[in-house]
């Protein structure tokens, strides 16, 4: 059996009073609003009335916490998957508004098509699609949910659409606790839906 749909869910709002780019740094947890947002995303998937066969999340705290409502509603134990984690970024722990004003950091911006400030977009797309293919083929009849991050989800959207992976991170259509849904026909992925079931949160610290 294969899966029916695969949903890429972004985590909810993160408590980030210093407003830094948190990337893969530890100990960044959901805010109270973020927990409510994660619940809204899980309830959105539940309202489809379809079984969920598997739940996976990146190993970072904010995605594990965002997976918790799915685990409760669908009686599943989430599996941690390094392939759907946030990309690396040399600006982790800094406020971007300050870092970009420092000429010493401009070297990291020299090749935005890669990008030169972190993990290559192609690498992100390859690991995300590998995880999607594997779990699609392995799942029992039902949907698969991945709780991941803005950059991996948006890069997957671009790859599936056949669009250039280079992009301005400020233009991503991937809100907090959004749900981007896919189906695979043969070996070809196609995006079938995008939803923002949660109220708008404070979107700070995304890579």
Structural domain containing residue 71? 6-195
pLDDT band at 112 (very low <50, low <70, confident <90, very high): very high
Residue 29 falls within a domain, yes or no? yes
Rounded to two decimals, the pTM is: 0.94
pLDDT band at 99 (very low <50, low <70, confident <90, very high): confident
CATH number reported for the structural domain that contains residue 125 in this entry? 3.40.50.1240
Closest by CA to 147, choosing from 23, 75, 79, 63, is 63
**Number of domain units in the chain:** 1
pLDDT, tens digit, 9 for 90 and up, residues 20-79: 999 999 999 999 999 999 999 999 999 999 999 999 999 999 999 999 999 999 999 999
152, two tokens: 């991996």
From CA 97, how far away is CA 86, in angstroms rounded?
Answer: 20
pLDDT band at 203 (very low <50, low <70, confident <90, very high): confident
């Amino acid at each position: 059996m294969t899966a029916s749909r695969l949903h890429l869910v972004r985590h909810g709002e993160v408590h980030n009073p210093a407003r830094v780019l948190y990337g893969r740094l530890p100990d960044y947890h959901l805010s109270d609003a973020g927990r409510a947002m994660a619940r809204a995303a899980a309830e959105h998937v539940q309202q489809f009335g379809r079984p969920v066969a598997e739940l996976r999340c990146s190993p970072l705290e904010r995605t594990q916490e965002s997976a918790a409502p799915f685990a409760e509603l669908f009686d599943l134990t989430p599996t941690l998957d390094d392939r759907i984690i946030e990309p690396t970024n040399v600006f982790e722990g800094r406020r971007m508004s300050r870092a970009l004003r420092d000429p010493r950091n401009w070297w990291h911006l020299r090749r935005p098509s890669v990008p030169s400030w972190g993990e290559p977009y192609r690498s992100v797309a390859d690991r995300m699609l590998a995880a999607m293919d594997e779990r699609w083929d392995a799942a029992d009849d039902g949907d698969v949910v991945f709780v991941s991050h803005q950059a991996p989800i948006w890069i997957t959207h671009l790859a599936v659409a056949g669009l250039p992976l280079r992009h301005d991170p400020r233009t991503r259509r991937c809100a907090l606790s959004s749900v981007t849904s896919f189906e695979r026909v043969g070996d070809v992925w196609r995006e079938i839906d995008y939803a923002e079931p949660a109220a708008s949160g404070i979107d700070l610290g995304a890579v």
